[in-house]
Copies of this chain bind each other. A is one copy, B any other.
Amino acid sequence: MSQFLWPTPIQNVKNLNKHAVLDLIRFTPGGISRAELAQRMDLSRAAMTAIVNDLLESAIVRETESHSKQSGRPPIILEINPARGHVIGIDMGVTHLTIALSNFAAQVLDEIEIPFDITQGPEPCLAQAEALLTELLEKNDLNIEKIMSLGIGVPGPIVSEEGMVIAPPVMPGWDGYPIRKQIQAYWSIPVSLNNDAELGALGEWAYGAGRGESHLAYIKVGSGVGAGLLLNGQIYQGSTGSAGEIGHLTVDENGPACDCGNTGCLEAVAGGKAIARQGREAIQKGQRTLLSSMGPIEELTARDVAVAARRGDLVSQQIITRAGSYLGIAIAGLVNLFNPRMVVVGGGVSQAGDLLLQPIRDTIQRRSLPGAAKTVKINTAILRRRSSSMGAVVQALSNALHQFAEKKGGESLL
């Protein structure tokens, strides 16, 4: 069946097919012909001609040559017109800020990343983002008028209608701050705000490890731990935008205290902060480990532990494996409840690779019902630390493309 995944409020059911065709073109690698579109959407070729002509007229879509291998007239392949415009994707993490510039074909043209501290609160953080975006635009000889849409991800539960976060455990000072409104006021372009794990899921679904999966979960193991849930390419936010908050599942009754006020949360034993802390503790205890030689102890990061583990450091491996087991407990619960076809593990800690994944897989096999556990695939993110920024690009593109698709004829901007 066709998928419906444009984020703009489902306006007219009229252009429904037009939007569905657009998405099918977007997410078919290598493009797709009118005939195949018609087949996939259960429409006549004649109808498809009309729809595609609309899209061609607005210059969202373009034709490319193709070399046929079968007998019969070779199809004309359709693809998104990359030059139709640009969009921006922003990944605002706890400790880093990434901004990506992309064309309409979701090709990232440039990208800047800087260290960052989200706990500074909204004003200074958004000012930093503004400066960085300005820099990126200047570097690429673009001004903001050429940017059609902006997507941004932040590490907290989102209220989409309001464009703000609600009671975010790791974003002190942001609760209720009108993030989208603020950005939109400054740049005067459409802005969509999402949770970073949700965007990670979207990114991996569109162009990563979970391409086209109907039921996908993305687990972001960064400073904290969050999950993004995707159903048929659509972000599942739950009733108040708090869906997928896997980081605060209790996985160890007697575990350490968590920032959220509870004890034994997944995040408190397997998040990046927790892993770094365990690394420092190991050094302080005087254990033999590579970690002692990786710079000043107070600057030790989870990524250092992951890297050391890959290099064969036993202490680090133990820490990562333990974290994997805890992640497995929580993900096993997610598998039992949500029953995804694929779980993509991303975020900085996932650099540890199979060292982290194997205990996750083992725990899931042991703890989830066979029906769900047998079919679920557990993989690392292909887009690496770009999952979320790519998801932000995808989201921004959805806005831009479907906005253009609404208009009749393409008043030839550009």
Residues in A lying within 8 Å of B, measured CB to CB: 1, 10, 13, 16-17, 157, 166-167, 169, 214-215, 227, 229, 237-246, 248-250, 253, 260, 262, 329, 332-334, 336-341, 366-372, 375-376
The number of times this chain is found in the oligomer is 2
A153 to B337, CA, bound (A): 19
User: Do the beta carbons of B240 and A375 come within 8 Å of each other?
Assistant: yes
- Most chain B CB inside 10 Å of its own CB: which residue of A227, A246, A253, A337: A337
The 27 listed contacts between A and B (C-beta, < 8 Å) are: A1-B10, A13-B16, A157-B372, A166-B371, A167-B371, A229-B337, A237-B339, A240-B339, A240-B341, A240-B372, A241-B371, A242-B336, A242-B369, A243-B338, A243-B339, A245-B339, A245-B372, A246-B337, A248-B336, A249-B337, A250-B329, A250-B367, A253-B253, A262-B367, A333-B333, A333-B337, A338-B338
User: Do the beta carbons of B249 and A336 come within 8 Å of each other?
Assistant: yes
Among B17, B239, B249, B338, the residue within 8 A (CB) of A215 is: B239
A187 to B249, CA, bound (A): 47
Q: Decide: A337 near B244, CB < 8 A? Known: A169-B369, A371-B157.
A: yes
A13 to B1, CA, bound (A): 11
User: Do the beta carbons of B339 and A239 come within 8 Å of each other?
Assistant: yes
Which 6 pairs from chain A and chain B are nearest by CB?
A238-B339, A242-B372, A239-B341, A243-B339, A215-B239, A242-B371
A337 to B167, CA, bound (A): 16
A240 to B341, CA, bound (A): 8
What is the distance, in angstroms, from A254's C-beta to the closest C-beta of chain B?
Answer: 10
User: Do the beta carbons of B339 and A369 come within 8 Å of each other?
Assistant: no
Instruction: Return the chain B residue nearest A335 by Cβ.
Output: B242
What is the distance, in angstroms, from A22's C-beta to the closest C-beta of chain B?
Answer: 16
Instruction: Return the chain B residue nearest A376 by Cβ.
Output: B239
User: Do the beta carbons of A240 and B169 come within 8 Å of each other?
Assistant: no
Instruction: Return the chain B residue nearest A245 by Cβ.
Output: B336
A340 to B246, CA, bound (A): 15
A376 to B238, CA, bound (A): 11
A1 to B12, CA, bound (A): 11
A238 to B217, CA, bound (A): 11
Knowing that A241-B371, A249-B332, A333-B333 are A-B contacts, what are 4 other residue pairs whose CB atoms are under 8 Å apart, sorted by A's residue number? A167-B371, A241-B339, A245-B339, A248-B369
